[in-house]
Amino acid sequence: MGLMKHTSTSGGREGISIVPKEMFFDRRRVQRAMDDATNIALREAAQRIRRLAQTSMRYVTSTAQQRRLIREGKRKRLTPYTPSSPGQPPRAVRPRPWVRKFLYYSYNARIHNAVIGPAGFPAGSDAPHTLEFGGRVKIRNVRRTIRRLGDSGEIRVGWSGGSTTHAVSDARGITQMVSYALLRTQAQVSRANRLQEQLYGALERAVAVAPRPFMGPAMLAEAPRMARLWAIRSTA
């Protein structure tokens, strides 16, 4: 305030002092105070959203990793894990929980702008976006192998003779007798790859991924508390 009562420490007498500047409305000062409060509040909101988004993704361990740990004696039993339901935040699957681990925020004080989200994924990787909004992704057929010259490969299906004929289950679950041999010519390689596709299907297949949002819910959860951040700062 412009007019304030104060107590002199030297003479012990009370007096009135007037600070003329404080008697006027200083718009820049108010704006500076608001900018400071905004910086702190936006940072804090960004931190909270990041933390909420991270903690919404539950840690699980992949089956392969569990088996590896059991082999190494670091785990006792296998716990099957299920992927998250559509509409729920995704799981952070060990040993590669990258979406949860590489979730950052960036704040630009000049323009009062905070950006929160996963970062650091290889160029072309659309995993965070697919998880947040859903989409189509290509999945590699793990049963398929690309045969090359000199490899051992399929040369015949449906013949039960010979020592290199084995029964295999095809993509439809039907048992087939498949004969294998050393692939000596390019024609044999092509035939082996064709038989492979006939037995196990294409190399890749596109699947639809339902959205599993983790950033949007975090922001919606934090939104009601944001105004209070300014309230606290501006009255502090």
Helix (H) or strand (E) holding 207: strand 204-209
Stretch that binds another protein, among 70-78, 126-134, 142-150, 158-166 (CB under 8 A): 126-134
**Between 189 and 215, whose beta carbon lies closer to another protein?**
215
Beta-sheet strands, E only, within 75-203:
92-94, 103-108, 113-118, 135-140, 152-157, 165-169, 175-182
Write down the least CB distance from residue 106 to another protein, Å: 4
DSSP 3-state assignment of 38? helix
What is the DSSP secondary-structure string of 39-77? Answer: HHHHHHHHHHHHHHHHHHS-EEE-HHHHHHHHHHTS--S
Examine residue 116 and tell whether it contacts another protein (CB under 8 A). Answer: yes
Phi (first) and psi of residue 78, to 5 degrees: -90, 125
Write down the least CB distance from residue 32 to another protein, Å: 11
Stretch that binds another protein, among 27-35, 61-69, 74-82, 173-181 (CB under 8 A): 27-35
From candidates 3, 30, 182, 202, binder to another protein by CB under 8 A: 30
- The answer to whether 131 touches 93, Cβ cutoff 8 Å, is no
Q: String of b and e for 95-115 (b: at least 16 CB within 10 Å)?
A: eebebbeebebebeeeeeebe
For residues 35-94, which are near another protein according to CB under 8 A? 38, 42, 45-46, 49-50
**Between 180 and 214, whose beta carbon lies closer to another protein?**
214
For residues 87-106, which are near another protein according to CB under 8 A? 98, 102, 104-106
Would you tell me which residues interact with another protein (CB under 8 A)? 24-25, 27, 30-31, 34, 38, 42, 45-46, 49-50, 98, 102, 104-108, 111-123, 126, 128-129, 131-133, 214-216, 218-219, 226
